[in-house]
Structure 1
Amino acid sequence: MKTLNAKIIFFLCCSILFLACKKENKQQEANKLAAANKQLNANATANAVLASCCWIGTTNQANATMEAYDPVLTSWATPKWSFKPTTALGFNATSEIPLWGYVNDLKVRNNNHWGSGQVITAQAERLSVIAKYPGGQRIWATGFPADAGVHGMEILPDGNCVVAAAGTNSGTGGNYIRIYSSSQAAPNQYVNTIYPLKAAHQVLWDPVNNCLWAIGDSLKKYAYNTAASGGTVSNPKLSLITSYSLSSITPWGHDIAPYDGDTNKLLVTTNGGVYVFDKSAGAFIPNAITGAAQRTFVNSVSTLPGQNTMVQTYKDPGCPINGWCSTHVDFYNLTTGAFLYSRTVSSAGFYRGKSFDPNYL
């Protein structure tokens, strides 16, 4: 009888241990995302000093190069930092580098998934890239067909990423956002799911509300890897929370950005103007942007942290490169919309020029 009791006790102990381990494994993945998101909220990356909160990250389509400049300097003759893919940085000479063309979007983020402290997301024509910052060494890259029209890219706290593809003017290709398992080791780093969004132009991770914002013909808010979606870090999924119409402002969104000093607001640009969105109210604030800062065809918008300054690039008919870029980045008073100053590179074709800030929210 003692032997039987001992066996029963041993079996019960093993069962309890197994169930505890199973529960721990289920929570492990969620804990990883929570820890990574906490890192963003706390701005606790050890290398956070690497990227200046006051630099402006630009996409220069004249030379197909990502460039960062210091707005304090009146001369932008020499960038503080630059990036384009090369074989020396680990990019493939035949399947990746030839896809790099007109540069569209650049972000720097605190993310230690690959041990580098900070990374950039860089999107240029048919190639989207995650690379180490500031060195630019390749982490991940993927190509797109010519009609995808990818305009924006964002990295999530766990190392996965999302791109926004606008398609062509004739309506072909693109018109979606697409999430990738970029955090995973080869060969599992390209698992992806597509979500329709007409004329998708930009995506932005919101670490305060733990959600993803996307702009196209509407403003959309997505949850990431919820129990209902069945998403995991190796097979990531988005769930649409709410879709907000642009009918109260003007159509065709271009960019979204945090609003300095108020995590409940987003800056939004469309073909027709610059606007402020109230997250908790789920509505655009009437006449929030006035003065010279309220103008059409603004390709990018952002703010300089703690400086009450808005940064814009817009469709400048005087740009010698194409019909949608600019030779200058413009700065405005965030409160009044009054023009402050511009920084110009006469040979440039800036599509976007935004606050190059890893502690963006």
Structure 2
Amino acid sequence: MRVTRGILAGVSACLLAATVAGPATAATASGRPSPAPIIVTEQASDRVVVLDSTKRWANSNATLWSWQPSADSDAGDTSKSWGLPDDARLRTGADGRQYVLVTDSYGLLASVPYSDKGPVAWSVDLGRSPNPHGIELLPDGNIAVAASNGSWIRVYTASQGRHSDTYVEAALPGAHEVWWDARLSVLWAIGDHLLVKYAVGGTPAAPTLTQQAAYNLPTNWGHDLGPVAGDPDRLWLTTVYGVHQFQKSTGTFVGFPRQRELYALNIKSVGTDAATGTVLETTPKAGNPCSWCTDSVDLFVGADSTEEKVLPGAQIYRARWFDEESS
């Protein structure tokens, strides 16, 4: 279990002193909060996998759902476009159905019907050079994508057909993740040096993407981005050199509980479970055959507890709470 952390250098005392509002909770029949499942991008088996966060992952009954493209996916020839899944999020479309959005570093973007799988709702093969790293569903059915080597953010017209590949693009060096902020009706994105806020306009068939604001990251090489469940004014984000929270109303980076414990290098994903307030992280583990992967997800429970969920033999890149409010 990774319980000893380095000290976050360069953070001011006022940041360390700040706190966040408590998370929303959901009660089980027993009255105790129940954490959401966790979805991981698992590169040893080239799958995205949903796991029960309350069970030992070494047991087969902990696996609730998994996906990789197959002959019935209608995603084209994926022999070259699939093999390093790196992002996955649960979303509900305008049709009321749920979808798992996935990206693969080899080029595949897809919206997968959950839980029935079958033909994808949408997919595009970018090829390997852009290295797609983040994906998000927009309210009109279009899909936003971040590509790190491509250094761009795109909005694809997924609303216009299963393989619609028309897009609008904005440059963002090192673009790694996107997240739709329904409260503010804006798209957030993170790159090497910047957190950027975009307005998405136009029509579903002809969208526009306009930068509204940009904020320098507290440390370089941004990676992950998402909500702080329980505090709609805050975002989680990670860089090569740590984990941070951003306060939207003030445009500043602020402190949060257990900040020093959560600090690590190269954090690939972070997020808060809305039901319990538990924070998850994935960080590359020394000795893993994949140098950017781990076989475990670290959980920070309550004020001082930790837990490690291990998936034996896995090469996990990102993990997210399988819950829309939490990711």
Q: Same fold (TM over 0.5)?
A: yes
**SS at structure 2 position matched to 1:291:** helix
CA RMSD of aligned residues (A): 1.8
> By how many angstroms is 1:200 displaced?
0.6
- Residue pairs, 1:158-197, within 5 angstroms: 158-167=140-149, 174-185=150-161, 189-197=164-172
Task: Provide Cα deviations, 1:45-92, integer angstroms capped at 9, x if missing partner.
Answer: xxxxxxx97010100011110001111112343311101111123332
Of residues 292, 300, 318, the one that matches 1:332 is 300
> By how many angstroms is 1:257 displaced?
1.3
- Higher relative CO (CA 8 A, sep ≥ 6), structure 1 or 2? 2
> By how many angstroms is 1:110 displaced?
1.4
Of residues 185, 195, 208, the one that matches 1:219 is 195
The answer for unaligned runs of 5 or more in structure 1 is 1-51, 168-173, 226-230
- After superposition, the Cα gap between the structure-2 partners of 1:289 and 1:215, relative to the gap in structure 1 and judged at 3 Å, is farther
- Residue pairs, 1:70-109, within 5 angstroms: 70-78=52-60, 79-92=63-76, 94=77, 96-109=78-91
Of residues 291, 310, 326, the one that matches 1:323 is 291
Structure 2: distance between partners of 1:289 and 1:269? 15
> By how many angstroms is 1:333 displaced?
3.7
Q: Tell me if 1:128 matches 2:89.
A: no
Structure 1: distance between partners of 2:153 and 2:38? 26
Q: Tell me if 1:240 matches 2:219.
A: no
2:99 is aligned to 119
Q: Which amino acid aligns with 1:124?
A: D
- Residue pairs, 1:349-360, within 5 angstroms: 349-360=315-326
Q: Is the 8 A contact 2:132 2:146 kept in 1?
A: yes
Q: Which amino acid aligns with 2:81?
A: L
Structure 2: distance between partners of 1:122 and 1:165? 13
Of residues 203, 206, 209, the one that matches 2:181 is 206
Q: Is the 8 A contact 2:36 2:275 kept in 1?
A: no
Q: Which has the larger radius of gyration?
A: 1
Structure 2: distance between partners of 1:331 and 1:109? 23
**SS at structure 2 position matched to 1:109:** strand
Q: Which amino acid aligns with 1:129?
A: A
Higher strand share: 2
Structure 1: distance between partners of 2:157 and 2:259? 41
Structure 2: distance between partners of 1:118 and 1:145? 27
Structure 1: distance between partners of 2:286 and 2:211? 37
Q: Is the 8 A contact 1:127 1:142 kept in 2?
A: yes
- Residue pairs, 1:9-20, within 5 angstroms: none
Q: Which amino acid aligns with 1:156?
A: L
> By how many angstroms is 1:293 displaced?
1.2
- After superposition, the Cα gap between the structure-2 partners of 1:124 and 1:77, relative to the gap in structure 1 and judged at 3 Å, is farther
Aligned residues: 289
- After superposition, the Cα gap between the structure-2 partners of 1:199 and 1:339, relative to the gap in structure 1 and judged at 3 Å, is farther
- After superposition, the Cα gap between the structure-2 partners of 1:164 and 1:304, relative to the gap in structure 1 and judged at 3 Å, is same
Q: Which amino acid aligns with 1:317?
A: A
Structure 2: distance between partners of 1:185 and 1:145? 20
Structure 1: distance between partners of 2:93 and 2:103? 18
Q: Is the 8 A contact 2:46 2:83 kept in 1?
A: yes
Higher helix share: 1
Q: TM-score, normalised by structure 1?
A: 0.76
> By how many angstroms is 1:98 displaced?
3.3
> By how many angstroms is 1:319 displaced?
1.3
2:310 is aligned to 344
**SS at structure 2 position matched to 1:88:** helix
Q: Is the 8 A contact 1:158 1:233 kept in 2?
A: yes
Moved over 6 A (4+): none
Structure 2: distance between partners of 1:297 and 1:285? 20
Structure 1: distance between partners of 2:35 and 2:56? 17
